[in-house]
Amino acid sequence: MTNKLYKLMNWPKIEEIIYSECNNPHELLGPHRSGSQTLIQAFFPEASKVEIQWDGNGKGSEAFAKNTKMEQADEDGYFAVLVPEKELPNYTYQVSYEDGRRVSFGDPYRYAPQISEKDIVKFNNGIHYTIYEKLGAHPMTIDGVEGTYFALWAPNAMRISVVGDFNQWDGRVHQMRMLEECGIFELFIPGAKCGDNYKYELKLKTGLTYLKADPYGNAAQLRPNSASVIADLNGFKWEDDKFIKNREAYQTGNAPMSVYEMYPGSFADPREGEEYANWREIAPKVITYVKEMGYTHVELMPVMEHPLDASWGYQVIGYYAPTARYGSPADFMYFMNELHKAGIGVILDWVPAHFPRDVYGLSNFDGTCLYEHQDPRQGSHPHWGTLIYNYGRPQVSNYLIANALFWVEKFHADAIRMDAVSSMLYLDYGKNDGEWVANMYGGNENLEAIEMIKHLNSIMKKRNPGVLSIAEESTAYPMITGRLDEGGLGFDLKWNMGFMNDYLDYIHYDPYFRSHHHGELTFSMIYAYSEKFMLVFSHDEVVHGKATLIGKMPGTREQKFANLRLTYAYMMTHPGKKLLFMGQDLGEFDEWNENRRVQWYLRDVPEHEGIVTLMKDLNALYKTHPAMYQLDDRPEGFEWINNISGNDCYLTYLRKSDDVEDTLLIVANFSGVEKEITTGVPFEGKYKEILNTDSTRYGGSGVVNARVKKAQEREWDDRQTSITVKLAPLSVSILQFIPYTEEELTKVIEERVRRNTPVKKAAKTTKTEKSAKTEKTTKTEKTTRTTAKKTGGRKKTAKEAD
């Protein structure tokens, strides 16, 4: 080494690099001006020889006409050379090793950071909503050189390196530069490409060195392997513009919404030799089935990368990576695209409440509790054995908020269903006294989590109007779906866990004992309009020894199927959006688990196919009758006729829309005996049965009401007119109101006048008797016309009808 070059060496800093303890290697490595020359330094552990190969050899300066040999400054592999030029073309290192290997490397230390000061300020304040485009691994081209830009937030690490397929997993090779203003380490690595596996190697001040997967990585290896995988999310060609454009009208407000919840790994059989079907194989099968059944949406249990199959995705490691179980990120984009083209919305389950302790994940990330709380009373979840996010740290809340936006904006999700919201809202959730720390006011509300939720729902609505935010929340916490400007949390929908728990508790009783539990059947309507609800029979109710829905039903096999048909009809006619877990629309008796497929063969069994047919018809009825959804979140859309006949175990009620002609009458028999149920009706007219769960079409015994029912002038349920409906045990009849035509109304009036006219007698009628008869006839006609809500004129609104 020449004396001049020797004097240019910063030996203390070189030692930092050699011992892999440097957080700013760019200060030495790469090209640096030295007067009219350029000093280039490089570190290639165990290399015996390094030459610089200039792009376009033989052109321009004589210094670039041939390879430039570097001098070995340190035997551990530190090389340097002084090039007699200020401006350099692109170049690569040609590195030779003692074992005869010769490897070409680009110089990662000649590039400026791709993270701007503006990015840093936004991230530090927790408002960088596209931080996923900066942090993580991003293939790109800089100054004509292809490679991948890596960035990681880990402010307390002494040194971080990128290790992977492109550098023999050697943490000494690609040490990263720390941006001290934000604690982000970054590095552009030429030649690192899509499909390469990688991790980050972190070294602490204590000397402890370990590997972590990329929190912002866009792909990962299939478990049990745990490396992140470089992926490019920008190349997919979306064709769902039409669906996205119409999405707000399709699913917001009181639009009908019937959701098929599914675990992707259980829906379709994989190809021979494969563990799971690919998204591209799953998509057409899901589309065919969902369209056949009439569901409006599918809800996917978490598709984010997770290590444990038995967690079903609810213990996430790779929040920004679709799980490798079903293919690549592009494969998942294909799935989303195809469902949208078929007119099907997609809801993604999302888990911001907690994360697992796996050592390659977020736990104790940079040697400190970076993502979680240090105090286990705040940072540990005793029931699940997982860790709780520190929502008050801006970079952590930014990680989660940007993640929800990521799935909507990068993968076109139509709704985010937030898991375990209750555990986020309460500091003492699942904890005993002494196991939690009160908030600044002495209460048990997690103020930081509440603020994060409000922040997310606010920015989601601003950036992605029409995308739904759905809460799985099981307590009476107020205003979950309340407006943000009125103090609410800003969710669009809340899972109605109360309805589910009360109903399943009621229906599991033998009909003989149900009269003592009638309040559980009707209680949901007391609070039905306190939030905007989604009724759910989800995966949680058919696992871990709870039995499937049909397995919960009492009685003989025939009675179990009748109870199930009754259950689905009651849910579909009850106010609220609808959700049903896969396999339950087949009437599966076996509990679901992640290791089995849906039992499609049950469709060959008439009773089970009857359940399928019923769900098809209920979905069709739900979507085509405005009374089932138009006033879904307003009391005007529902009316009890009889909800007090607990001893007889039946209910009668109305579903209504703005048009009285859309009115539906529902009569439900929860008893174990056949009944003729007389029920008051709201209007003069006819009532035609449009669905009966005991129809032979659905596997029932065929006790139906084939003939149209005419309202009779008989008071019942505090109403002037009524009809009588015949019902099999454990069945529901849905009847549609049909107004009389003018001609029919005239005949009804005439018939009632005749009925009210005394039979003629031989003796003459006195003047007084004649006057009374005329008055009674006139009153009958007036009453009949008044109570007939349709007389051939304009349609009346529900408000006018009331």
Local confidence band at 773 (pLDDT 50, 70, 90 cut-offs):
very low
So what's the pLDDT on residue 3?
78
Question: Angle, nearest 10°, between helix axes 497-507 and 557-573?
Answer: 150
> What share of residues in the chain are helix, strand, coil (percent, to 5)?
30, 25, 45
Q: Are 228 and 216 in contact (CB under 8 A)?
A: no
So what's the pLDDT on residue 789?
44
Tokens of 301: 């249990």
Please state the φ and ψ torsions of residue 643, each to the nearest 5 degrees.
Answer: -125, 20
So what's the pLDDT on residue 62?
74
Residue 530 has pLDDT above 90, yes or no: yes
How far apart are the C-alpha atoms of 305 and 179, rounded to whole Å? 28
How large a percentage of the chain has pLDDT more than 70?
94
Buried b (16+ CB within 10 A) or exposed e, 86-112: eebeebbbbbeeeeeeeeebbbbbbbe
pLDDT, tens digit (0-9, with 9 covering 90-100), for 395-434:
999 999 999 999 999 999 999 999 999 999 999 999 999 9
Give the β-pairing of 638-642 and 577-581: unpaired
Buried b (16+ CB within 10 A) or exposed e, 685-695: bbbbbebbbbb
Hey, which residues does 468 pair with through a beta bridge?
415
Q: Are 506 and 646 in contact (CB under 8 A)?
A: no
How far apart are the C-alpha atoms of 499 and 536, rounded to whole Å? 8
Name the DSSP class of 269. Answer: P
Polymer length in residues for the chain: 802
So what's the pLDDT on residue 64?
82
773: exposed, middle or buried (Cβ count in 10 Å: 0-12, 13-18, 19+): middle
Q: Which residues contact 539 (CB under 8 A, 6 or more apart)?
A: 261, 263, 301, 312, 581, 592
Give me the helices (H) in 61-188, please: 117-124
C-alpha distances out from residue 765 to 221, 477, 755, 768, 775, Å: 99, 72, 18, 8, 15
Write down the catalytic residue from 472, 633, 689, 744: 472
Q: What is the mean pLDDT of the chain?
A: 92
Residue 453: other Cβ atoms inside 10 A: 26
Tokens of 695: 């129809």
How far apart are the C-alpha atoms of 739 and 300, rounded to whole Å? 43
- Strands (E) located in 548-608: 577-581
How large a percentage of the chain has pLDDT more than 90?
86
How far apart are the C-alpha atoms of 736 and 739, rounded to whole Å? 10
Residue 762 has pLDDT above 60, yes or no: no
Give me the helices (H) in 426-467, please: 447-463
So what's the pLDDT on residue 568?
98
Local confidence band at 785 (pLDDT 50, 70, 90 cut-offs):
low
Helix and strand totals (H; E) in the chain = 19, 36
Q: Say whether 419 is catalytic.
A: yes
pLDDT, tens digit (0-9, with 9 covering 90-100), for 251-305:
999 999 999 999 999 999 999 889 999 999 999 999 999 999 999 999 999 999 9
Which range among 94-108, 699-713, 739-753 shows the weakest confidence by mean pLDDT?
A: 739-753
First to last CA, the chain: 99
* Mean pLDDT confidence for 505-512: 96
Residue 361 has pLDDT above 80, yes or no: yes
So what's the pLDDT on residue 33?
92
How far apart are the C-alpha atoms of 741 and 790, rounded to whole Å? 7
Residue 798 has pLDDT above 80, yes or no: no
Write down the catalytic residue from 107, 305, 331, 419: 419
Q: Are 286 and 615 in contact (CB under 8 A)?
A: no
Helix (H, G, I), strand (E, B) or coil at 2: coil
pLDDT, tens digit (0-9, with 9 covering 90-100), for 41-88:
999 999 999 999 998 754 556 778 789 999 999 999 999 999 988 888
So what's the pLDDT on residue 379?
93
Q: Which residues contact 797 (CB under 8 A, 6 or more apart)?
A: 658, 659, 660
C-alpha distances out from residue 62 to 58, 68, 83, 90, 671, Å: 7, 11, 11, 15, 98
Residue 717: other Cβ atoms inside 10 A: 16
Tokens of 324: 């490798």
Task: Tell me the HSE value of 675 on the side-chain side, using a 13 A CA sphere.
Answer: 21
So what's the pLDDT on residue 749?
84
* Mean pLDDT confidence for 163-190: 96
Tokens of 733: 């009849």
Q: Say whether 505 is catalytic.
A: no
Q: What is the 3-state secondary structure (H, E, C) of 5-34?
A: HHHHCCHHHHHHHHCCCCCCHHHCCEEEEE
pTM value is 0.92
So what's the pLDDT on residue 751?
83
So what's the pLDDT on residue 795?
44
pLDDT, tens digit (0-9, with 9 covering 90-100), for 83-123:
988 888 999 999 999 888 999 999 999 999 999 999 999 99
Q: Are 16 and 64 in contact (CB under 8 A)?
A: no
Which is nearest to 223 in space by CA: 213, 211, 209?
A: 213
* Mean pLDDT confidence for 133-137: 97
So what's the pLDDT on residue 86?
87
Residue 760 has pLDDT above 50, yes or no: no
* Mean pLDDT confidence for 769-794: 48
C-alpha distances out from residue 515 to 355, 510, 525, 649, Å: 44, 10, 18, 6
pLDDT, tens digit (0-9, with 9 covering 90-100), for 446-466:
999 999 999 999 999 999 999
Which is nearest to 174 in space by CA: 185, 183, 184?
A: 185
Local confidence band at 752 (pLDDT 50, 70, 90 cut-offs):
confident
Which range among 134-138, 319-323, 452-456, 741-745 shows the weakest confidence by mean pLDDT?
A: 741-745
